[in-house]
Structure 1
């Protein structure tokens, strides 16, 4: 599913920020280099991320996760409002008029908060809250935006979490053995 030329890149920013801490192994991948990379890929043109920026963005994980888990439009609206970014209708690069969030001099953590929350609000507006998920893997705490056409995705990664669940189910069926026939 597409949400728009401007919105598409920021739709998964919240997902990337929340999932930069891997609960299952207790590893925090968020670093100045990763944060800079995530932001630049979504249009950030300011200075590279600092350790202080990383710390501030880490504090966004729980509010962003709550939007995925409780589908709270109010939480997402509060993040946008606190970011200092304002909506502007713009046309550029041959694209039709569309909304941007802008704010001169806004710090990177505020920019991430506003953009990530705006992306989630766009998903809710255009695709509904049913597109915001927590992975169905039993030991996975990852969140994701279901961009599939039929909204059928349940795992953060079908190749990892989905495969684990299917292999476990297969092994459980094999352990039961062949079904007995004709027992009365």
Structure 2
């Protein structure tokens, strides 16, 4: 493990959240189209705490994505500015907590804070670890030419190049077919 488990999960969840946004350039559709989609996303990533399960909560989560996306293209000072802004806005107060199958880890919001606030602060706290460790190069954009999804490379050798949408397999198949056709 490169970082603590909660940091790795928070980084992966932040990337997954950013990647749910529609992208007209690539034709990617909205992956959080309704409250049920958000419910699935929350269950997949194990978000705890109170939920409103309404359109306002969905809209707040939608509004968070374009605030997180620039992190993947920013330099360290830009990341710090975004992270500090999120931590201030949502009044982060880090505390050690233990729940469900998780041993002690950090939460920086109240359990009854709005879902989007908990998502924002959790991402910000994980990014604090990346900045402090000098590891921002682990945040990338998928290298497939037709994909703009973001990637968090948590591999030991920093070799992850493609997103979780199958681009790596697709690019490998294309390279294989190109090699075979040149024979």
On whether the aligned pair clears a TM of 0.5, the verdict is: yes
1:126–1:33 CA distance, 2 compared to 1 (3 A): farther
1:151 aligns with 2:158: yes
Alignment of structure 1 residues 96-107 onto 2, 5 Å: 98-103=105-110, 105-107=112-114
User: What TM-score does the superposition give when structure 2 sets the normalisation length?
Assistant: 0.79
Shift of the alpha carbon at 1:173?
4.2
1:42–1:7 CA distance, 2 compared to 1 (3 A): farther
1:165 aligns with 2:179: no
Over the aligned positions, Cα root-mean-square deviation in angstroms equals 2.6
Shift of the alpha carbon at 1:9?
2.7
Give the count of matched residue pairs.
174
User: What TM-score does the superposition give when structure 1 sets the normalisation length?
Assistant: 0.78
> Bigger radius of gyration, 1 or 2?
1
* Counterpart-to-counterpart distance in 2, 1:107 and 1:92: 20
Alignment of structure 1 residues 9-158 onto 2, 5 Å: 9-23=9-23, 24-30=26-32, 31-40=34-43, 41-71=45-75, 72-88=79-95, 90=96, 92=98, 95=103, 98-103=105-110, 105-126=112-133, 128-157=135-164
Gaps of 5+ in 1: 179-184
* Counterpart-to-counterpart distance in 2, 1:26 and 1:161: 13
